[in-house]
Structure 1
Amino acid sequence: MSPPELPYVAFAAAFLVLITLPWHWRARNVATLAMVAWLFVINVIYGVDAVIWHQSILVKAVVWCDITSRIIIGAGIALPAACMCISVHLAQVASASHIQNSRADKRRRQIIELLLCFGLPMLWMGLHYIVQGHRFDIIEDYGCRPNTYISIPAILLIWVPPLIFSLVTVIYSGMALMYFLRHRMTFARLLENSNSGLTTSRYLRLMAMAFTEIVITVVSSSLTLWFTSLSLRPWTNFTDVHWNFSRIDTYPTVFLPDMILNYYYATWYIIPFSSLIFFAFFAFGQEAISETRACFMWIRKHVFGCFPRSGRLGLPLKDISGFSSKQSPRQFVSLPSAP
């Protein structure tokens, strides 16, 4: 039976991620902006594919598939890289030996994060051609997906790098937590002196978000490695792997075993679930609630023509992103009861 909820889930997840964009845009933090961009784009791709290929395996929108299959490959390394950038920065900020951020230091960090979150995925998209068996696949209800010739080179090139980034993220997240516990009595002052614009609650939310997203990445990558190992093929030569490269394989769900269908269904939900986690860590603080209320009141007034009785559009907007473009005033923040 075709899962009818897929497009609704995908578009809802894309909307939730997009809600957080103004907060992170004001902070000018490349890593969190990269997560917003990649999660939003992949959710939109999933939603469009679920609409176009609902109960269908017709070969159509081939240019769309050529582009989106590459983007899906890029997201596989971009999201772990963004989490790694966040955890590395948090560990550096919390270190007692951390030197205050100058404008040049911040610009240098932004360039490195741009290269890791966008430049590296583009390079990875190109390298995927080495282990790409044919143009792409079309799976009924799920749409077009990148094809990979499952072999030892494919494992080393496609699935091992995200696990390496995940391992680095876990290490730096552990270091960040260690620094927090070591300096917890004076942590707010330490963050202020670091000139990072972080508060204790924002620091903890970012650390928890990065670690949670990496756990999801490790679980999904491990599941994919196990699943692909069941059909591992020998690598002969480049010509054999790319023989009849222009073909497009189609897979009706009626002919797919239940195990494969369950695998596609479970892995499809990884991106929407990651989007929900990302939204949750930034959407339920008091400042976030105030800004979300103001956003909906603006839509209510300017889109639907409904004016609030109070004559105001909502509460003042505040920066709730994990990073700030300006240094925050001195403040001592207690731990939040919920992220």
Structure 2
Amino acid sequence: MHASDPTFPLFPILSLLAVIVSFIPFPWHFRARNIGTCAYMLSTGLFSLVEFINSIIWADNVNNVAPVWCDISAQVIIGAGVGITSSTLAISRQLYNISVLKGQSKTPKEKRIDIIINSIVMLLHIIVQPRRFDIFEEIGCQPATFNTVAAYLLYFIWPILIGLCSFVYSVLTLRNFYIHRVEFTKVASTTSGMSPSRYIRLMLLVFVDMFCNTPIGVFAIIVSARAAVLPFSTLSQAVDFTKVEFITASEWKADPLYHAIVEINRWVPVFCSFVFFGFFGFAEEAKKNYRIVYEKSKKLLGGGDRKMTGSKPLRPSRGN
């Protein structure tokens, strides 16, 4: 049934696990007001959830069986895609502030800026959206983008620009970390509540994301630019928001480079989810929270048992 897709059922299984591991550390990061990491988990988790559902529904067909879901999920893919890189930028900016011994987290204004960036990208995509959405066999519904110069300037360029900003912050952070390495531990722990080990894990997360998503953004532009880039003026003639394009697996796999970028794009959120959990799911703060959950569960289950067996057993009468 799924002979053409060697990743089935591996991809649905891993994408579902990616959703789970994305949200396991979320409660304590949310309590600690770690906005950057929370945004990262939400982006990877929602993206992975969409890819999981899509991979099940459209595993072997291109039928438009869930148009409303496609309308919603296409926007989630756009927002979560840029959300991963923008949350990485937020983390790198926070690390930079600590490295210059400010030790401050994001201000409300900076948080609003990140939300505005995600919203702007989704709105800009509408400008270069020629039809309602596309459905890829084995992949599911995806946002449709008109191949024009405007698409590269308004949509495709964002992951690269945000990645470059993260790179600049990361270089400055490493420089400041080296200069202020003696004072760093005291400032990080007392002012920002961040341990040196957590700081290093966040730095590694930024570097992994930066050196993965930025090259992927460049690769996507190269692959798209090989096709005929049409003038923006022709968009008015091509726009039809009632239209849905259906692409079979044999069609999108015919071009090796296009095949590669389609597969890479759907595996990115899964990879990012597991990378994040690898850095933070086994840390000391995570183990502490696991123990708390375990103790509460044990107490809850134990309390239930005591209620059931709480009455004292009747003792046999001595006279018998």
Deviations 1:54-84 (A, max 9, x none): 1011111101101110111112222211111
Report the Cα distance in structure 2 between the residues aligned to 1:236 and 1:84, rounded to whole angstroms. 31
Question: How far 1:170 sits from its partner (Å)?
Answer: 0.7
Aligned counterpart, 2:145: 148
C-alpha distance after superposition, 1:4-62 (max 9, x if no partner): 12211111001001111012111112221111111111111000111111101111110
Shift of 1:177: 1.2
Where does the alignment leave 5 or more consecutive residues of structure 2 unmatched?
306-320
Computing the radius of gyration from Cα coordinates, the structure with the larger value is 2
Residue 119 in 1 paired to residue 116 in 2? yes
Q: What pairs up with 1:102-117 in 2 under 5 angstroms?
A: 109-116=107-114
Higher-helix-fraction structure: 2
Q: CA deviation at 1:186?
A: 3.0
**Aligned ranges for residues 16-35 of structure 1 at < 5 Å?**
16-35=21-40
Deviation of 1:294 after TM superposition, in Å, equals 4.5
Which has the higher mean CA deviation after the structures are superposed, 259-268 or 162-171? 259-268
Instruction: Encode CA deviations 1:280-304: one digit per residue, 9 max, x unaligned.
Output: 111222332342355467668869x
Match of 2:206 in 1: 210
C-alpha distance in 1 between matches for 2:267 and 2:29: 24
- Deviation, 1:230, is 1.4
Q: How does 1:1-339 map to 2 (within 5 A)?
A: 1-2=4-5, 3-4=7-8, 5-96=10-101, 98=102, 101=104, 109-116=107-114, 118-192=115-189, 195-237=191-233, 238-242=235-239, 244-256=240-252, 257=254, 259=256, 260-295=258-293
Deviations 1:226-267 (A, max 9, x none): 11111132224141241x332111111133315133332222
Find the aligned partners of 2:66 and 2:298 in 1 and give their Cα distance: 36
Q: Which runs of 5+ in 1 are unaligned?
A: 308-339
Q: For 1:306 and 1:187, locate their aligned partners in 2 and report how far apart those are by CA, in whole Å.
A: 48
- Within 2, Cα distance between the matches of 1:173 and 1:233? 34
Give, as a single letter, the amino acid of the residue that structure 1 aligns with 2:162: F
Q: Which amino acid aligns with 2:279?
A: F
**Cα distance in 2 for residues equivalent to 1:57 and 1:295:** 43
**Residues 236 and 39 (structure 1 numbering): CA distance in 2 closer, same or farther, change over 3 Å?**
closer
Alpha-carbon distance change, 302 to 222 in structure 1, aligned in 2, over 3 angstroms: farther
Equivalent residue letter for 1:25: F
Scaled by the length of structure 1, the TM-score of the pair is 0.81
Partner of 2:311: none
| Alpha-carbon displacement from aligned partner over 1:114-166 (angstroms, at most 9, x marks no partner) | 331x2321222122111112111101111000010112110111111221111
Question: Equivalent residue for 1:326?
Answer: none
TM-score, with structure 2 as normaliser? 0.85
Query: Is 1:133–1:149's contact at 8 Å kept on the other side of the alignment?
Result: yes
Residue identity in the other structure for 1:273:
F
Are the counterparts in 1 of residues 43 and 81 from structure 2 also a CA contact under 8 Å?
no
* RMSD, matched Cα: 2.4
Check 1:41–1:189 CA distance in 2 against 1; reply closer, same or farther (3 A cut): same
User: Residue 325 of structure 1 aligns with which residue?
Assistant: none
The residue matched to 1:269 in structure 2 has which SS?
helix
Amino acid at match of 1:203: Y
Q: How far is 1:273 from its partner?
A: 0.3
Distance in 2 of aligned mates of 1:131 and 1:66: 16
Counterpart residue type for residue 230 of structure 1: R
2:315 corresponds to which residue? none
Q: Which residue of structure 2 aligns with residue 331 of structure 1?
A: none
Percent sequence identity over aligned pairs? 26
Provide the secondary structure at the position in 2 that maps to 1:57: coil
> Hey, what's the Cα distance between the residues in 2 that align with 1:293 and 1:284?
12
Mean Cα deviation higher: 284-293 or 144-153: 284-293
For 2:299 and 2:250, the matched residues in 1 are separated by 48
Whole-angstrom distance in 1 between the partners of 2:54 and 2:194: 39
Letter in 2 for 1:265: E
**Rounded Cα–Cα distance in structure 1 between residues aligned with 2:143 and 2:249:** 17
Q: CA deviation at 1:189?
A: 1.5
Compared CA separation, residues 58 and 302, structure 1 to 2 (3 A): farther
Q: Secondary structure of 1:250's partner?
A: strand
